Amino acid sequence: MKISRVLPLVVGAAMLLAVVGCDQRPPAASAQQATAVPGTQVKKTYQDMVVGYAQIGAESEWRTANTASVKETAQQLGVELKFSDGQQKQENQIKAIRSFIAQKVDVIGVPPVVETGWETVFIEAKDAGIPIILVDRRAAVPEDLYVTYLGSDFIEEGRNAARVMVQLMNGKANIVELVGTIGSAPANDRYKGFREILKDYPDRKIIDSQSGDFTRARGREVMETFLKTHGNKINALYAHNDDMAIGAILAIEAAGLKPGKDIKIVSVDAVHGAFEAMIAGKLNATVECNPLLGPQFFEMALKVVNGEPVPKWVPSKEGIYYPNNAKDILPMRKY
């Protein structure tokens, strides 16, 4: 080829190099540089995030499902998760939050075991620039101390349980109530919502109400006490969760009575154990409370670290389940 023909090609190539520069970095780094407009930040992905989750413990089937949802979702998305089990103690959850702050995680998720006593540690997180997401339970703190709450309307769950109870007990009802963990948001709200509806039905009375701490063992013990105190007078039970209802069913049977018939039972959660009890005719209804909050939690966490707006409350969608179709529905239930 003649020099006169080659020269324009050489000059063209040299001009092109002068424009793009001699970038020796790998293509991915160059591409990232290209999306980072000066003055703006590159968006974080799930794989960039370190998230702390200060779980309450393992008091119920519901809680076990909640833990599994958080852990499985973190693994699927590639989020680095630091998980702590507070063994039902607020002081342990507070310690876990402090340790997450010291480790400089990007976001902290917490289902507060009780409503009060969180302000100091939430302020510490805020001062460290670490957002708090309330998962499952609310805390009684000013709104600027958490970014969002993901979870149920516990008052509505209590109202729904009462609506079902009113239908089940056509005439006079002597109801005993198994309350959840004292001072917790679901116990406070399910207690309140139930009474809101029941006040219009004076023939349906709550004759006793005590805490079973959301566990099967305590549900059984407290039901035994109710039966000793009130005997055959009891014809209805409202349990703030399925585990306590399942414990109470054992106490009712041990007393020679038929749960679901002699004593009508309504509880909350809709876990597998409740469906099994309904199929066996021992539980009359369960009001759903969804524990599968992992996907929403990490979605909100990613938005928050990227400075995107999130709603102050992401409410769960929930139903009510009855024995008539429990057998068909159980295989489709995820928890």
List interacting residues with ligand AHR (CB under 6 A).
59-60, 62-63, 136-137, 186, 214, 241, 243, 268-269, 289
Nearer to ligand AHR, 303 or 333 (CB): 333
Of 138 and 264, nearer to ligand AHR (C-beta) is 138
User: Helix or strand or coil: residue 263?
Assistant: strand
State in angstroms the smallest separation of the CB of 60 from ligand AHR: 4
Shortest gap between Cβ of 214 and ligand AHR (angstroms)? 4
Among the listed residues 111, 114, 141, the one whose alpha carbon sits nearest the alpha carbon of residue 126: 141
Rounded Cα–Cα distance for residues 151 and 39 (Å): 36
Q: For residues 134 and 272, is the Cβ–Cβ distance under 8 A?
A: no
CA distances from 132 to 163, 264, 294 (A): 35, 41, 15
CB 115, min distance to ligand AHR, A:
11
Q: How far is the CB of 172 from ligand AHR (least distance, A)?
A: 29
Nearer to ligand AHR, 293 or 305 (CB): 293
Minimum CB separation of residue 189 from ligand AHR in Å reads 10
Nearer to ligand AHR, 161 or 169 (CB): 161
Measured from the CB atom, the residue of 60 and 69 that comes closer to ligand AHR is: 60
Whether residue 242 contacts residue 288, with contact meaning beta carbons closer than 8 Å, is answered with no
What strands, in cross-sheet order, belong to the sheet with 320-321? Answer: 204-211, 173-179, 236-239, 264-269, 285-288, 320-321
Is 173 in a helix, a strand, or coil? strand
